[in-house]
Amino acid sequence: MILNNWSIRIGGGALAFLVLIALFAPWLGTVDPALFDPASRDLLPGKSGQITTLDGDKLRHTFLMGSDSLGRDIYSRVLYGTRVSLLVGILCALVALAAGIACGLASGYLRWLDGILMRFMDGVMAIPAILVAISLVAIWRGSLATVIVAIAIPEIPRVTRLVRSLVLSIREEPYVEAAVALGTPTWKILFGHILPNCVAPLVVQGTYVCAFSILVEAILSFLGVGLPPDIPTWGNVMAEGRAQFNDYPHNIFFPGVFLAVTVLAVNILGDGMRDTLDPKMAKRV
Amino acid sequence: MAAPRAGPFFFMLTFILRRLLATIPVLLIVAVLVFLMLRLAPGDPAAILAGDAASTEQIARIRAGLGLDRPIVVQFGIWAGNLLAGDLGESFYYKMKVATLIGQRLEPTLALASLTILIAIVVAVPLGVVAAWRFGGWFDRALMGFSVLGFSVPVFVLAYMLIYVVSLQLGLLPVQGYQRIADGFWPFLRHLILPSITLSVIYIALIARVTRASVLEALGEDYIRTARAKGLPEIRVLVRHALANAAVPIVTVIGIGIALLIGGVVVTESVYAIPGLGRLTVDAVLARDFPTIQGLILFFSFVYVLLNLLIDLSYVFLDPRIRY
């Protein structure tokens, strides 16, 4: 049923391909992304050169996407960067969904908490997402865990609002009234009756959070305020290539294309799922 | 409820007043969050505020000024009091008041943001109207495809693509930099064209999508059939009848998009070396200059809330049916 939708086929297919690249990065003709060789600095794509392994051996290596100003292989760094981007996207989506579901259920079902919690969320939403993320990373210093949490936090209010609005409409449904009348405990109503009916819109929202998180992580790394520069991420590769863009645009071009294609694939997949899983939402936008 | 004989003016006034009051808790929570930001950081807030190069004496002076030995609520009171007096604190990195610093960097950002919004509206609204008019046709599908693409291509990748083609290959516009408007309007504009186009793409995608959706909805209404039946020219039906009735969601999304725009400003100014508030934000984060970071977050959030307040108030004029 789901696979009949062309957006899901294209987006999901491209994404599956990227997941394979991430999983099999070591066997796709790459070298350790941290390896460098001063003799192979700033090679153009396709040029052959040498690279020094950790043991000090010199290997012949073809730099499919060229090399950077330290003589590292951009092809290897971009392929390994796929791992970081996908991991950040998926984990950010999960963190934002988990926190948003908890807050949204609480806000939608416990009336006394609703006002306070939603005003708080309004406050968080008034601060532009990237500013929240970069200042949190500045405080905590960049590591994979802090970057993920920092990117997920500004996304929580949107998920909370979605869950809350779903809870408010679902709690009026006859089956919930029946469960209440039978004396079902509140937690069982929330997790057994209400949450399962929120799944479709949440999956759709999750893909958008994932796409946005991948973008924000790349932006943070690119600006030099994200993951440490030795970790191969697309943003870091581009940040490294910035200074020499005029002479060697490939440093920015290849990771940029991977980044754009990945975010596009996730967004297309999200649109497809919205159309099949959540027809009401599809009509709204 | 208002008195039964109250006129439209009374409704408008109470609406404006209530909307104004509603922004106060939002701004208060933003202030609390920005205040708590430093308390989340590991270590002594005074030492963090003073930066890495501060002397023990300086840190002691800041600690006394913040009232760090007093309860946290009193600390917030002192800080918020200074804030209301327009005192955003002092940057030890730039060695000046944060408010002064923001004032100095305001012009480039204001110019960039205004030109971006202008380009976005001028381009996106007609595109959205035409797509809705030709719903399901090739133009519509192309626009929807473009809008997904616009959401997906990162602003700095787009920036470098434009620099490569327009500046490096064709040599039409400067690669980067900024000219103050006081140094002549043409050089000022030449330096802003590429950054504004870069920044406007995601905004165009957003506005065009919403314009299309809301015009499409309006086109299904009875008054459109009536307007066409009485022989009005199609352009008049589209603009005066469909677009005018679709205005509220379009204006709303322009307001919501300002948050995206602020995020984009940070990146765009960095790529194009524009000495504005976005560039200042990145420099402040890299230097861990927390008074400046706090000041910038407060400033950006305040502008965002204020613009959305103005947009909410504009509903009264855009749609006379709206009475809160």
Q: Is the dihedral of CA B174, B179, B183, B185 positive or negative?
A: positive
Half-sphere exposure of A100 (CA within 13 A, CB side): 30
| Chain B residue with minimum CA distance to A11 | B148
Name every chain A residue with its beta carbon within 8 A of the beta carbon of B151: 211, 263, 267
A10-14, A281-285, B129-133: which range is least confident on average? A281-285
pLDDT cut 90: percent of chain B above it:
24
More confident residue, B29 or B317: B29
- Interface size, chain A vs chain B, as Cβ–Cβ contacts under 8 Å: 133
Check pLDDT > 50 for residue A241. yes
- What is the DSSP code string of A194-261? IGGGGHHHHHHHHHHHHHHHHHHHHHHHHHTSSS-TTS--HHHHHHHHGGGTTT-THHHHHHHHHHHH
Q: Phi then psi for A50, rounded to 5 degrees? A: -110, 160
| Measured distance CA(A146)–CA(B102) in Å, rounded | 28
Distance of residue A220 Cα from the nearest chain B Cα, in angstroms: 9
pLDDT digits (tens, 9 = 90+) for B200-238: 999 999 999 999 999 988 888 888 888 888 888 888 888
Judged by CB atoms closer than 8 Å, whether chains meet at B156 and A246 is answered as no
Q: Are A226 and A217 in contact (CB under 8 A)?
A: yes
What is the structure's pLDDT at A70? 75
Average pLDDT, whole number, for chain B?
Answer: 85
Residue burial B39-58, b: 16+ Cβ < 10 Å; e: rest? eebeeebbbbbbbeebeeeb
Distance of residue A239 Cα from the nearest chain B Cα, in angstroms: 10
Q: Could you tell me if B165 lies within 8 Å of chain A, comparing CB atoms? A: no
Q: Could you tell me if B166 lies within 8 Å of chain A, comparing CB atoms? A: no
What is the structure's pLDDT at B65? 74
| Measured distance CA(B179)–CA(B190) in Å, rounded | 9
Name every chain A residue with its beta carbon within 8 A of the beta carbon of B41: 139-140
B42-46, B263-267, B305-309: which range is least confident on average? B42-46
| Measured distance CA(B117)–CA(A61) in Å, rounded | 48
Judged by CB atoms closer than 8 Å, whether chains meet at A260 and B152 is answered as yes
Average pLDDT, whole number, for chain A?
Answer: 86
Check pLDDT > 80 for residue A235. yes
Distance of residue A192 Cα from the nearest chain B Cα, in angstroms: 34
What is the structure's pLDDT at A213? 95
Check pLDDT > 50 for residue B3. no
Q: How would residue A4 be classed by pLDDT, with cut points 50, 70 and 90?
A: confident
Residue burial A29-41, b: 16+ Cβ < 10 Å; e: rest? ebbebebbbeebe
| Measured distance CA(B24)–CA(B249) in Å, rounded | 24
Name every chain B residue with its beta carbon within 8 A of the beta carbon of A264: 148-149, 152-153
Q: How would residue B2 be classed by pLDDT, with cut points 50, 70 and 90?
A: very low
- 3 state DSSP class of B12: helix
What is the structure's pLDDT at B324? 47
User: Locate tokens 């809870």: which residue?
Assistant: A167
Beta strand ranges found along chain A (DSSP E): 47-52, 58-63
Judged by CB atoms closer than 8 Å, whether chains meet at A128 and B281 is answered as no
Judged by CB atoms closer than 8 Å, whether chains meet at A135 and B285 is answered as yes
pLDDT cut 70: percent of chain B above it:
94
pLDDT digits (tens, 9 = 90+) for A140-172: 887 899 999 999 999 999 999 999 998 888 888
User: Locate tokens 């043991």: which residue?
Assistant: A55
Check pLDDT > 70 for residue B179. yes
For an interface test with B, the pick among A10, A88, A134, A149 (most B C-beta atoms closer than 10 Å) comes out as: A134
- Smallest Cβ distance to A126: which of B30, B155, B290? B30
